[in-house]
Structure 1
Amino acid sequence: MTNFLGSAYLWVKAAHVIFMVFWMAGLFILPRYLVHHQDGLEDPAEGPRWTAREAKLRSMILTPSLVAVWVLGLALAANAGLFDGQPGLGWLHAKLLFVVLLTGYHGWAVGYANKLAAGRPTIAASRLRMFNEVPALLLTLIVMLAVVKPF
């Protein structure tokens, strides 16, 4: 399937980058929402407000962007020959590993939002604030691999 995208390649790549930016914007803000949600659990009026904000963020930005990033990214990977055993794609294997980890982080954040919606925080506020940095670290590694292609 190598090079099956033909002249559409650059359009697919551009869409992949655009939806990646949307997804990352959501992943940068959701953990901050979680911190505020957890801090606001003492006020009975605040919890439902944060739950609604988080649900809108997930349904309007996070989930659609996640799906688009994966679909477009797999199309680009297939175009590069990942599924044909094309040599020299070690960087892409590593990038996919980090994207899988980022997807897992996304799932964890959604799961923790659900715990907060049920009024069951399980992480100290200081640790939750540290988890805010995970998307930035993973994004840095993913972009370096995609741009530099070191191996």
Structure 2
Amino acid sequence: MAKPSPKPKQTTAIDHGVGSRIAFLRAANGLSQSALASALGVSFQQVQKYETGKNRVGAGRLQAIAERLGVPVSSFFEPEPESTTENGPSLLRVSGAVELLRAYNQIADDQMRRDVLSLVKSAARIGQSRAAAGAAADQGSARDAVPNA
């Protein structure tokens, strides 16, 4: 009787972390999944599988990814960037985040970059203030709608 073939190794939390770092560093370099895939000689679907942790990344392939992204292999094993939260999605998955990063990355002038960053931070503060004011107004109208017993 033939011996059953062993199951392929399941991916682990480390594989998911490596994939997340690949996605983060790829986006930070302004590369699409297709562009990275082309440089590696694989399909963009394979890059997707690496980034989601569905497929493990072999040592040789990880070295090739590191070289293409201009980072040491060790960078794939560093803690998650601040753009992720423990229970939430990566900030890079927020609509427009990657486009904003790409556009920012194309600004060559350091002073212009500082000015753009200052503008975005100001817009974020205004947005947070408006959201807080709206939430407070909603709470006030909900409180007013409850009849006194």
- Give TM-score, length-normalised by structure 1: 0.24
Larger proportion of helix: 1
The structure with higher relative contact order (CA 8 Å, sep 6+) is 1
The TM-score normalised by the length of structure 2 is 0.25
Which structure is larger by alpha-carbon Rg, 1 or 2?
A: 2
